[in-house]
């Protein structure tokens, strides 16, 4: 993880940046939850002043690579950012820079289509079983379970399963960013009509069947139809 230095070598800023880099390296070389040392230990190990160490610790703490605990048994501990930590920042960046849900969907629809195609080649029995269970659950949705929120949850669950089946972690990351961005768009109201929910479920079931049959071309086609449906709704909302 880069901790860039913009001041001249030996300046207070450069010492803090270098110490932050060393702390990050210590964390990444350890396992999550490992004790990296008490403050006095790290002061001696890194050869820096207490103010420098504390400033550097705040930087690395904000990146979720260490946690600092006070009191008996405290000190510096290795941590790892959660998926939510990673995803929240780019979703916020997009919103602050004026991105719309359509902007995000233009990108994620391409990724989703590739994910569906790649998932058709997945031979992991546990993941295939999860997809089959999801498919059956969606097909059986009726009555009180037929709600907009339930449909959104089904769509999100399917995307996560397909991301895992694709075997590409980058696909999972970008699709999660898209869903996080979409969930925060309070003015977008999908699946309010029963016909829309039924259409979504029908496409989900067909897509699952194509993937389980190992047919990447049909899976790609059905995912493209699903994303076209979302574009159609977004245009109505705009």
pLDDT digits (tens, 9 = 90+) for 199-227: 999 999 999 999 999 999 999 999 999 99
pLDDT of residue 83: 67
Instruction: For residue 139, give every residue at least 6 positions away whose Cβ sits within 8 Å of its Cβ, in sequence order, or none.
Output: 201, 205
pLDDT digit string, tens, across residues 122-136: 999 999 999 999 999
Above pLDDT 70, what percent of the chain? 90
Q: CA 158 to CA 127: how far, in whole Å?
A: 11
Task: For residue 201, give the 3-state DSSP assignment.
Answer: helix
Q: CA 173 to CA 83: how far, in whole Å?
A: 8
Compute the average pLDDT of residues 94-103.
87
pLDDT of residue 89: 78
CB 119 within 8 A of CB 162: yes
Element (H, E) at 49: none
pLDDT of residue 149: 86
Compute the average pLDDT of residues 4-19.
66
pLDDT of residue 212: 98
49-53, 100-104, 166-170, 177-181: the lowest-pLDDT one: 177-181
pLDDT digit string, tens, across residues 52-84: 999 999 999 988 899 999 888 889 999 998 766
Looking at every residue in the chain, the average pLDDT score rounds to 88
Q: Which residue has the higher pLDDT, 187 or 69?
A: 69
- Report the b/e string of 24-59 with b at 16+ CB within 10 A: bebbeeeeeeeebbebeebbeebebeeebbebbbeb
Question: What is the pTM assigned to this prediction?
Answer: 0.67
For residue 75, give the nearest of 29, 31, 27, 42 by alpha carbon. 42
pLDDT of 86 higher than 90: no
pLDDT of residue 177: 87
* pLDDT category of residue 38 using cuts at 50, 70 and 90: very high
pLDDT of residue 8: 43
Q: CA 234 to CA 238: how far, in whole Å?
A: 6
- Largest CA-CA distance found in the chain, in angstroms, rounded: 69
DSSP 149-194: HHHHHHHHHHHHHHHHHHT-HHHHHHHHHHHHHHHT-TT---S-SH
Cα–Cα distances in angstroms (integers) from residue 186 to residues 71, 182, 191, in the given order: 43, 8, 14
């Amino acid at each position: 993880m880069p901790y860039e230095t913009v001041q001249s070598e030996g300046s207070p800023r450069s010492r803090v940046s270098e110490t932050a880099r060393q702390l990050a390296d210590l964390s990444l070389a350890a396992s999550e939850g490992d004790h990296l040392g008490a403050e006095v230990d790290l002061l001696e190990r890194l050869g820096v002043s207490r103010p420098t160490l504390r400033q550097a610790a705040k930087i690395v703490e904000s990146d979720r690579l260490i946690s600092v605990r006070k009191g008996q048994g405290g000190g510096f501990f290795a941590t790892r950012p959660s998926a939510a930590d990673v995803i929240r920042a780019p979703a916020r960046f997009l919103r602050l820079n004026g991105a719309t849900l359509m902007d995000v969907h233009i990108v994620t629809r391409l990724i989703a289509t590739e994910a569906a195609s790649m998932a058709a080649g997945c031979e992991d029995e546990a993941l295939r079983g999860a997809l089959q269970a999801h498919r059956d659950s969606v097909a059986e949705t009726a009555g009180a379970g037929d709600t907009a929120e339930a449909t959104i949850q089904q769509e999100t669950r399917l995307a996560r399963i397909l991301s895992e089946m694709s075997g590409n972690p980058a696909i999972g990351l970008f699709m999660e960013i898209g869903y996080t961005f979409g969930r925060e768009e309070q003015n977008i109201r999908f699946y309010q009509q029963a016909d829309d929910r039924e259409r979504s479920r029908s496409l989900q079931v067909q897509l699952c069947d194509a993937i389980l049959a190992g047919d990447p071309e049909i899976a790609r086609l059905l995912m493209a139809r699903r994303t076209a449906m979302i574009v159609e709704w977004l245009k109505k909302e705009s």
